[in-house]
Chains A and B, each alone.
Chain A
Amino acid sequence: MLLARVEGNVVATRKHPSFEGWRFVICQPINNAGEPEGVPQIAIDGHGAGMHQRVIISSDGGAARAMVGDSQSPARWFVMGVVDEKEPGVPV
């Protein structure tokens, strides 16, 4: 699981059928100070994470498949939760 910041979204018409109706958000992993770290990941979002919100993304494929409801889905990264507060505090 990674702490990340939502920095946009991706639109794709042609995709694996299991992704139909799901939102793809661009998640930039961040460090403890809130600075970008590494390459952005595209995660499926079922929580409606907003622009520049901090989220936790998980790479659990099993959970992602259960989420999209297709046991043959290649889904991997998904938004696990939206961060409300983090300690030690860093401004959002």
Chain B
Amino acid sequence: MKLGTVIGRVILSVTVPKLEGARWLIVSPFTREHFQHGSETPPGMSKDPSLVVYDNLGGDLGQTIGYIEGREAAQPFETPPPIDAINAALVDDIFYNPFNK
């Protein structure tokens, strides 16, 4: 799982029948620097490219979510849909304490 900030939503008019009515979020992935801010993440975008994540938890703009990438994203469904990233957690709090040698 990786963390990211929801920076937008996507709505599809034509889609694979299986995914009709699905919710899609545009997510900007956290970098190491983002973790330092804890739950008060500045809405700034990271340098890493953003991605679209399937959402069935109800994530919204500005929220921090945990998303899972890869084949595992299709696992919660009876018949696997063609998705490769899923929102798995709405993050409440981040306790981060970087290690300094």
Interface 1/0 per residue, B1-29 and A, CB below 8 Å: 11100000000000000000000000001
Bound Cα distance A39, B93 (Å): 18
Q: CB-CB < 8 A to A41: which residues of B?
A: 1-2
> Of B57, B72, B76, B92, which one neighbours A76 at CB under 8 angstroms?
B72
Asked whether A7 and B96 contact (CB < 8 A) given A39-B30, A39-B48, the answer is yes
Does the CB pair A28–B32 fall under 8 Å?
Answer: yes
Residue-wise interface mask of A (27-58) relative to B, using a CB-CB cutoff of 8 A (1 in contact, 0 not): 01000001010011111000000011000000
B76–A12 touching, CB < 8 Å? no
Residues of B within 8 A of A (CB): 1-3, 29-32, 35, 48, 57-58, 66, 68-73, 75-77, 86, 88-99, 101
A-B pairs, top 8 by smallest CB distance, nearest first, are A12-B89, A15-B89, A8-B96, A61-B72, A42-B1, A11-B93, A14-B90, A76-B72
Beyond the given A14-B89, A15-B89, A42-B1, please list 17 additional residue pairs across the A-B interface where CB-CB is below 8 A: A7-B96, A8-B35, A9-B95, A10-B66, A10-B91, A11-B92, A12-B92, A14-B57, A15-B88, A15-B90, A26-B94, A39-B29, A61-B75, A72-B77, A74-B86, A76-B70, A77-B1
